[in-house]
Chains A and B, each alone.
Chain A
């Protein structure tokens, strides 16, 4: 969907990610309030619509988040669920409202608490109505199959995959919002316990809690609010995963390739122009494959792109500058929103100790969502953001 009029990000908020004693609503509210205040919004009635992404915390999650901010009653609050894409999708819907002229100020929130509600020592599975789930499918194992095939076809090693964790944890070293961060060696990553062969524990994102929030507004409103560093939403795309039960190349990702192609076309920005990317690095293998799927490098050259230092500071495109999901952990409804919040901070030069230099002008975010038999992923949400000052 090409945006009908200009949409800007005014302010963003995010919580620290990790294990929280408070539930999703408290986290969502904290991120929302930070985003609203950063947008110079000083009263609840200024917001005209709200979308709240959450994967697993139950019903009317959005109203639960926003009632204590006095935001229930005058505005529609719509709850958004698409597994790991929920947070990104909530932002997409807020962008849509502004683009179509339905609102001048809208908020998108992603929030999730897993650790208060999930049995320890178990892996995420999809619904029992799915034929793969009945037969034991878990997300860790499904990504592990991608890794297994990639290694088989390309000769990549466990040590190669481990470099992704090492890079992203290093990026996060001074990021106060990240959970797992700092130096870790390739050997430590490879020798951690096997979760789903060939993936080891340190190649899997942590099960975490957190929230992110984004306030979007029209061109007129961004001026009225006095935002001095507005971020233009140059593109916002949601797609559903192509479904079939025939062989497909799982060292690629059909839905990511299609979503990226649409985003590049609608934004008029190509992969070579993107300075930073936050992508769905739920597992090491995913980041490696997505270099290729997003067109950051040619097909088959993902490993070379990584080894040549093109995905880190000083390279062609800094991938996961906040540390990615491998550092933040992955509260499924929150990650998509938090990626955008972190990218906006990078573009505003607000990341002391982990700032990309030169300050990025173009940022891209990418979250997939949902294991569903016959698809690579059920959903994919991507955003293209551009500095506009």
Chain B
């Protein structure tokens, strides 16, 4: 009989809050990433992010719809005072997609380089550090053909 007590202290789980599979698909084979829309099978409403049940009819079954990778920058701001713990400056904006959805996202590019109604495209990159100090990777947008 072992006199060793089992170690009851749970291992600290890493903070992997983002790169959330419900939001973003970044195929391992190198194909372009896309945001995942959710179309309610009952009433047809399309939402991003995923809302379950559907806020329109409380349906709980959805078809996943790959959303357009390009949209229009409806508005934006370059932030020089930000959230506690975030490096400044950083920029964010509202991106309107052809699917009649508006996405709030960080913008990749220099402050001062954005204009309303710019054409922008989806990209993937760090948006902040998690509580373990590791960059959280999520969706972002950048000016079209900026690379």
Contact with A along B102-129 (1 / 0, CB 8 A): 1111100001100111000000000110
Chain B residue contacts of A148, Cβ below 8 A = 75-77, 116
List the A residue with the shortest CB-CB distance to B105: A135
Query: Contacts A145-B76, A245-B47; is A136 near B128 (CB within 8 Å)?
Result: yes
Most buried by A among B80, B86, B100: B80
Report yes or no: B83 in contact with A247, Cβ–Cβ below 8 A: no
Within residues 53 to 106 of chain B, which ones have a CB less than 8 A from any CB in chain A? Answer: 55, 74-84, 86, 90, 92-94, 96, 100-106
- Is residue A123 contacting chain B, with contact meaning CB distance below 8 A? yes
List the B residue with the shortest CB-CB distance to A131: B49
Q: What is the bound-complex CA distance between A322 and B147, given in angstroms?
A: 51
Within residues 224 to 246 of chain A, which ones have a CB less than 8 A from any CB in chain B? Answer: 243, 245-246
Query: Which residue in A135, A196, A247 is a CB contact (below 8 Å) of B77?
Result: A196
List the B residue with the shortest CB-CB distance to A198: B77
Report yes or no: A243 in contact with B55, Cβ–Cβ below 8 A: yes
Report yes or no: A135 in contact with B55, Cβ–Cβ below 8 A: no
Q: What is the bound-complex CA distance between A131 and B81, given in angstroms?
A: 19
Query: Contacts A136-B83, A136-B90; is A196 near B78 (CB within 8 Å)?
Result: yes
Report yes or no: A141 in contact with B86, Cβ–Cβ below 8 A: no
Chain A residue contacts of B84, Cβ below 8 A = 119, 122, 125
Q: What is the bound-complex CA distance between A122 and B90, given in angstroms?
A: 13
Output the least CB separation between A121 and chain B (Å).
7
- Is residue A362 contacting chain B, with contact meaning CB distance below 8 A? no
- Is residue A194 contacting chain B, with contact meaning CB distance below 8 A? yes
Report yes or no: B75 in contact with A141, Cβ–Cβ below 8 A: no
Q: What is the bound-complex CA distance between A193 and B88, given in angstroms?
A: 14
Q: What is the bound-complex CA distance between A144 and B91, given in angstroms?
A: 11
- Is residue A255 contacting chain B, with contact meaning CB distance below 8 A? no
Chain B residue contacts of A136, Cβ below 8 A = 79, 82-83, 86, 90, 92, 106, 127-128
Query: Which residue in B17, B77, B100 is a CB contact (below 8 Å) of A246?
Result: B100
Q: What is the bound-complex CA distance between A146 and B86, given in angstroms?
A: 22
Report yes or no: A250 in contact with B83, Cβ–Cβ below 8 A: no
Output the least CB separation between A251 and chain B (Å).
9
List the B residue with the shortest CB-CB distance to A195: B81
Q: What is the bound-complex CA distance between A376 and B103, given in angstroms?
A: 14
Output the least CB separation between B142 and chain A (Å).
15
Report yes or no: A121 in contact with B81, Cβ–Cβ below 8 A: yes
Within residues 136 to 172 of chain A, which ones have a CB less than 8 A from any CB in chain B? Answer: 136-138, 140-142, 144-146, 148-149, 152
Output the least CB separation between B99 and chain A (Å).
9
Report yes or no: A194 in contact with B82, Cβ–Cβ below 8 A: no
Report yes or no: A140 in contact with B116, Cβ–Cβ below 8 A: no
Output the least CB separation between A292 and chain B (Å).
17
List the A residue with the shortest CB-CB distance to B102: A247
- Is residue A254 contacting chain B, with contact meaning CB distance below 8 A? no
Q: What is the bound-complex CA distance between A144 and B74, given in angstroms?
A: 13
Report yes or no: A141 in contact with B79, Cβ–Cβ below 8 A: yes
Report yes or no: A373 in contact with B104, Cβ–Cβ below 8 A: yes
Report yes or no: A149 in contact with B77, Cβ–Cβ below 8 A: no
- Is residue A248 contacting chain B, with contact meaning CB distance below 8 A? yes
Query: Which residue in A125, A142, A144, A197 is a CB contact (below 8 Å) of B83?
Result: A125
Output the least CB separation between A134 and chain B (Å).
7
Report yes or no: B104 in contact with A131, Cβ–Cβ below 8 A: yes
Which 3 A-B residue pairs are closest in the complex by CB-CB distance?
A: A144-B77, A149-B75, A145-B75
22 A–B pairs (Cβ distance < 8 Å), ordered by A: A119-B84, A121-B81, A122-B81, A122-B82, A122-B83, A125-B84, A134-B18, A135-B92, A135-B105, A140-B79, A141-B77, A141-B92, A148-B75, A149-B74, A196-B78, A197-B77, A197-B79, A199-B77, A243-B55, A247-B74, A250-B74, A373-B104
Q: A122-B81, A144-B77 are in contact. List 6 more A-B contacts (CB 8 A).
A: A122-B84, A132-B104, A135-B105, A136-B79, A136-B106, A146-B75
